[in-house]
Amino acid sequence: MEQLDWIVIGLYFVLLLGIAAWVMSKKQKDTQDYFLAGRNVGWFVVGASIFASNIGSEHLVGLAGAGADSGMPLAHYELHAWIVLLLGWVFLPFYARSGVFTMPEFLERRYSPKARWFLSILSLIGYILTKVSVSIYAGGIVFQSLLGMDFWTGAILTLVITGIYTVVGGMRAVVYTEALQTFILIGGALAVTYIGLDHEAIGGWSGLKDIVGSSHFNMWRPADDPKYPWTGMVFGGAIVGIWYWCTDQYIVQRVLTARNVKEGRRGAIWGGFLKILPVFLFLVPGMVAFALSKQGVLQYNDANEVLPTMVKTLLPAGIRGLVAAGLLAALMSSLASVFNSCSTLFTIDIYKKLRPAESETRLLRIGKIATAVIVVLGFAWIPVMKNAPGTLYDYLQSVQSYIAPPITAVFLLGILSKRINAKGAMATLYIGFGIGLFRLVLDTMVTFNPGREFSGILGDIIAIPFSHFAIIIFVISLCILVGVSLSSAKPSAKQVEGLALGTLTDEQKADVKNSYSWVDIVTSGLIVVIITAIMLYFTG
């Protein structure tokens, strides 16, 4: 890093903290202000926030590494922009109508308090063990690879800077700083892609295809592929995608900040368009790095270091500093998002349930304390993450494939059918989570004992690709949900009113119809066309 790079990085952080300070100067009156930015955010900021929240460590460190390691199969997960459209068109009207802060709160409205407790605790544990710890870990890697700092110093810097403006500024600080970070990140990643492709050792797009081979450019691996079968990528990936994009607090909280359903839906459409970009921002640079390594131009010891190594090796001074700022921006925006979501879940779904009479002032204070505690717990898990083999992206997708299916089933059928009841939901959550946890334990035993082999039925289970296993859990979850619900009493009309299809009043139907126009329909259709074209192109 040269002096100009440090100047650019410094200017970026001054601008970032300036925006955060401006937001912090706005007095936070209550929990709606702190956790949902007063429900007064416009579509442009909502969409940028969705994108910046999603683009975190698993992309900067893991997805670029996956592009270098295996090429395009994981693009299926990045082309889930159509599922972001489902959030805006299908799920958001029900969430907004219920007036909830959190997704567990919605489950309580639709089903029962037990469903809320289950999802609250499961989400908090999952966030701490995956999103928080992985983001801090990736921050340490980026600081170490790019800026030459000690790993732990980089991890602590990532933690402290992000923690301060998240704890003090709340959701408004998160979404407005994310809007800035989105465009710095896109500009930086495009610079890496362009300069890498333009390198004389590659010679452009056609040269890249010749060097890496058609297998790297093929999204569609055979259905019996042991790692990335196309059936699992398409169907299993969709199951995980609906959970992540339409039911996970981490993402849904962004559209709940919108001033109305129309702004929230347009934010989801804008976020869906931006979601197409990671294929070209991270997977393609990963393939470029693989090509440069084959040509002897670039060297990396670990696939997780691909993108920082490219920035350090290929880019000129000044641009290198800007891109470094973009990488750090994405890490911090992802971390800030999960900090705020964890704080919201703990304060609204756990603390307020235990102490319903607490004042808004007290709840605000608890929310900030909860964020600080989550920061510490996530940091404590980093030594475990450092020992996990493979790319971070593979690790996160496999874990999510085991926990997502029952949650997807409960939310999706709960909205689509008024007959699904609380008994069916709880049976599905308990059994579905138990199956996923069982597979996760088996995977963990193999991961940390590479020489260990299972025989018999355990060997057959462990051999199933994680994406196919997601389909199996989902089908079992659907059977349990429908079977138990139909064999027990249906929920009362009052309980499901406005929360499931077939229960909307004429006025509610009119509100939905008035919340969109032909512009929203056309732009949504355009996104689907672009996704289809990309899928047809990357066939090897």
Residue 221's pLDDT band (cuts 50, 70, 90): very high
**Selected residue with higher pLDDT from 80 and 520:** 520
**Distance from C-alpha of 180 to C-alpha of 132, rounded to nearest angstrom:** 21
Q: What 3 state SS string does 117-172 have? A: HHHHHHHHHHHHHHHHHHHHHHHHHHHHHHHCCCHHHHHHHHHHHHHHHHHHHHHH
> How does pLDDT run across 336-352, given as a tens digit for each residue?
767 777 777 788 778 88
Has residue 453 got a pLDDT over 70? Answer: yes
pLDDT of residue 352: 83
User: Which region holds residue 148: left if phi is over 0, alpha if psi is between -120 and 50, else beta?
Assistant: left
Give the Cα-Cα-Cα angle 449, 451, 454 (nearest 5 degrees): 90
Q: Which of 135-144, 379-388, 393-402 has the lowest mean pLDDT?
A: 379-388
Asked whether the CA dihedral 126, 57, 250, 371 is positive or negative, the reply is positive
Distance CA 145, CA 85 (A): 36
Q: What's phi and psi for 229, nearest 5 deg?
A: -65, 140
Residues 6+ apart with CB under 8 A from 3: none
Residues 60, 329: contact at Cβ < 8 Å?
no
Considering 121-130, 267-276, 342-351, the range whose residues carry the highest mean pLDDT is 267-276
The most confident of 23-32, 438-447, 467-476, by mean pLDDT: 467-476
pLDDT for 37: 46
Number of separate helices (H) and strands (E) present in the chain:
31, 0
Instruction: Please state the separation of Cα 20 from the chain's center in Å.
Output: 23
Confidence of residue 24 (pLDDT cuts 50, 70, 90): low
Q: In the numeric block, which tokens belong to residue 262?
A: 């129309």
Confidence of residue 35 (pLDDT cuts 50, 70, 90): very low
Give the percent of the chain with pLDDT over 90: 32
Whole-angstrom distance, CA of residue 201 vs CA of residue 296: 9
pLDDT > 70? residue 147 = yes
The dihedral through the CA atoms of 428, 344, 158, 13 has a sign that is: positive
> Are residues 99 and 329 in contact, defined by beta-carbon separation less than 8 angstroms?
no
Could you tell me which residue, 534 or 17, shows the higher pLDDT?
Answer: 534
pTM of the model: 0.83
Q: What is the mean pLDDT of residues 520-534?
A: 95
- Tens of pLDDT, residues 341-394: 777 778 877 888 888 888 877 877 887 787 778 777 777 766 655 655 555 667
pLDDT at 38 over 50: no
Q: What per-residue confidence (pLDDT) applies to 448?
A: 66
Residue 287 confidence class, pLDDT cut points 50, 70, 90: very high
Percent of the chain with pLDDT over 70: 87
The Cα 64–Cα 303 span in angstroms is 8
pLDDT band at 36 (very low <50, low <70, confident <90, very high): very low
Confidence grade of residue 180 (pLDDT, cut at 50, 70, 90): low
Q: What confidence score (pLDDT) does residue 164 get?
A: 67
99 exposure class (CB count in 10 Å sphere: 0-12, 13-18, 19+) = exposed
Q: Is the pLDDT of residue 30 over 70?
A: no
Radius of gyration of the chain (CA): 23
